[in-house]
Amino acid sequence: MVQHFLNFSDIASSEIQPLLARAIQLKSGVTSNALNGASVVLLFEKPSLRTKLSFWIGAEKLGGNPLYMSPEEVGLGKREPVADVAKVISRMADLVVVRTFAQTTLEEFASAASIPVINALTDAEHPCQALADIQTIAEQLGGVSGATVAFIGDGNNTAASLAYAVAGLGGHLTVASPDGYKLSKQVLDSANAYGSAAGGSVTQITSPREAVDGADIVYTDVWTSMGQEAETSRRLRAFNGYQVNPELLDLAGPRVKFMHDLPAHPGEEISDGLLDDPRSVAFDQAENRLWAQAALMEKLI
């Protein structure tokens, strides 16, 4: 059976810790030839810096051959049906990493594919980011179990995957969002169910100040995600008061760490210079994309 990674919960919660341990090992300099000549196709319909770089370089480090296809040349679902693209890539490559808009497009792709498919971000989830996030939290705190994480802002794709990842390892996530931008009840309930065996939890509130109180980690993401550009002015109004800045971090306590999956919009979800605040681990998070995804590719191939 081909194993895909379309949603964070495609990995059983008991499998997260070994994957994380492997990512940490690869980061420490252990080498691997797990891809051994395998071809890894990167099929992206939205812009990317970290995801493209980390899969590309990660595949090379594991002895594989990455190949990038741009949206213009593929025309997923436009020039050619999604399922046909998946079937053709499956005949030639060994692993495919897809960034697209609708989760249903990714699912349609995966159901026609006969090689592992990895979600490199959809409107619903960003599960590879969440793998790097828990690696970063583990590095900073020594583990994720019992950690308190506050996510401030949009209950978006990044927040949804983070909810599964933190709860799945027994951490506690509080998401503070304005009404209309909260995590869906479906995500909230299923992330809590996913994390229940490990004792993890996901809670949703409105107040950023309340969310950061006592938090080990304060995390935010952009207010306007890729594909939502037409909503920018409405979102800027809705998220007024949700900026993460040094004053908000001060409320969390002296040892708090600040996380952002990048790209950031200083002046919107963060204050100018926050990525370089001594409490920021955003660039560790970016680097960890490489190691977490290398461990993931090893597992799926």
Nearest Cα neighbor of 270 from 262, 278, 166 is 262
- Looking at 153-161, 180-188, 242-250, 285-293, which segment touches ligand NVA (CB under 6 A)? 153-161
Q: Which is nearer to ligand NVA, 4 or 50 (CB)?
A: 50
Among 41, 169, 222, 297, binds ligand NVA (CB under 6 A): 222
DSSP of 226-242: TT-GGGHHHHHHHTTT-
Q: Tell me how many residues contact ligand NVA (CB under 6 A).
A: 10
3-state secondary structure 8-77: HHHCCHHHHHHHHHHHHHHHCCCCCCCCCCCEEEEEECCCCCHHHHHHHHHHHHCCCEEEEECHHHHCEC
- Maximum distance among all alpha carbons in the chain? 54
List phi, psi (to 5°) of 218.
Answer: -120, 125
Q: Does 156 bind ligand NVA (CB under 6 A)?
A: yes
**Minimum distance from CB of 275 to ligand NVA (Å)?**
14
Question: What's the residue count for the chain?
Answer: 301
Alpha helices in 124-184 (DSSP H): 127-141, 157-168
Residue 298 touches ligand NVA, criterion: CB under 6 A: no
User: Could you check whether the bond before residue 263 is cis, i.e. omega within 30 degrees of 0?
Assistant: yes
**Is the CB of 68 or the CB of 181 nearer to ligand NVA?**
181
Closest distance of CB 186 from ligand NVA, Å: 18
Stated as kind and residue range, the H or E segment containing 84 is helix 82-92
Instruction: Give the C-alpha separation, 265 to 258, whole Å.
Output: 15
In angstroms, what is the minimal distance from the CB of 291 to ligand NVA? 18
Q: Is 136 in the site for ligand NVA (CB under 6 A)?
A: no
Report if residue 183 touches ligand NVA, rule: CB under 6 A: no
Asked if 100 interacts with ligand NVA (CB under 6 A), we say no
Q: Which span (111-119, 150-158, 160-168, 229-237) binds ligand NVA, by CB under 6 A?
A: 150-158
> CB-wise, 120 or 294, nearer to ligand NVA?
120
Q: x/- contact string, 261-290, with ligand NVA (CB under 6 A)?
A: x-----------------------------
Does the footprint of ligand NVA cover residue 17 (CB under 6 A)? no
Rounded CA gap, 300 and 215, in Å?
34
Residue nearest to ligand NVA (CB): 225
Stretch that binds ligand NVA, among 76-84, 104-112, 151-159, 185-193 (CB under 6 A): 151-159
Side-chain-side CA neighbours of 257 within 13 Å: the count stands at 21
Q: Using CA atoms, how far apart are residues 216 and 285, in angstroms rounded to an integer?
A: 15
User: Shortest distance, CB of residue 202 to ligand NVA, whole angstroms?
Assistant: 18
Closer residue to ligand NVA in complex, CB, 54/158: 158
Of positions 45, 108, 125, 221, contacts ligand NVA by CB under 6 A? 221
Residue 127 tokens, joined? 């599960």
For ligand NVA, the closer of residues 49 and 88 by Cβ is: 49
Query: In the complex, which residues of this chain contact ligand NVA (CB under 6 A)?
Result: 121, 126, 156-158, 221-222, 225-226, 261
